[in-house]
Structure 1
């Protein structure tokens, strides 16, 4: 359950940084500099790494809860791979790392191109037979 809290805390911090409107100082030095990331989730360009505990301690029901929660939150972002913000392409890239006794990259940033890709990946996660949760690697 601590892992679910950790994942949701990291996600909250990422969403808060992208969505909350803050009064930032002007950071553009010249007209050719890239504009700052939007405070609107649909035009934000951030990288999110989801780190999910798949050990036996997490259990299948908690993995489903995480999957459902993320599938409700992340559609607010435009998920994709177009990275040229100078041309107006502003996408959020998502990667997924799972861990039990070992950490495993379940999806790189280039593997998830839509909320459908993310939902399919999250729904395919299952808990392992290991009770170990390697938090040190």
Structure 2
């Protein structure tokens, strides 16, 4: 625990939400599509991510004054090249995310370039 001066206002920073549907989060999914990953593992990633992200309110149009929150999601894949598959503004629902994830194809290259 950090030692805080007695007059330090801890309320200056809002607490993190313990409720996923009320969280303000930006999530960038970075997915390896090189042939080393394997098609079966790529499909597992899609399934698991859809399950995990179903807990969050995905979108870009929260009504802040009404206390609405949302989680923005972007998807980037990499093999020999890095590709932005979906920007934050492209995914507005769990259905959009599932569609994007299901369209990701396995590369035929074994190269995985994270430097780009």
Query: Which TM-score tier does this pair reach, normalised by the shorter chain?
Result: 0.7 to 0.9
Question: Under a length normalisation based on structure 1, what TM-score does the superposition of the two structures give?
Answer: 0.72
Rounded Cα–Cα distance in structure 1 between residues aligned with 2:38 and 2:80: 15
Q: Distance in 1 between matches of 2:77 and 2:34?
A: 9
Higher relative contact order (CA 8 A, sep 6+): 2
Paired position in structure 2 for 1:90: 69
Q: Which structure has the highest helix share of the two?
A: 1
The CA distance in 1 between the partners of 2:25 and 2:67, in whole Å, is 14
SS of the residue corresponding to residue 11 of structure 2 reads: coil
Q: Structure 1 regions of 5+ residues with no counterpart?
A: 1-24, 29-34
1:44 aligns with 2:29: no
Give the gaps of 5 or more residues in structure 2: 1-9
Q: CA deviation at 1:36?
A: 5.0
Task: Confirm whether residue 112 of structure 1 aligns to residue 108 of structure 2.
Answer: no
Structure 1 outlier segments of 4+, above 3 Å: none
Matched, 1:65 2:50: no
Larger radius of gyration: 2
What is the rounded CA distance, in whole Å, between the counterparts of 1:37 and 1:114 in structure 2?
A: 22
Return the alpha-carbon distance in structure 1 between the equivalents of residues 12 and 39 of structure 2. Answer: 45
Secondary structure at 1:96's aligned position in 2?
Answer: strand
CA gap of 1:36–1:86, structure 2 versus 1, over 3 A, is farther
Per the normalisation by structure 2, the TM-score is 0.85
Q: Select which of 97, 101, 110 maps to 1:122.
A: 101
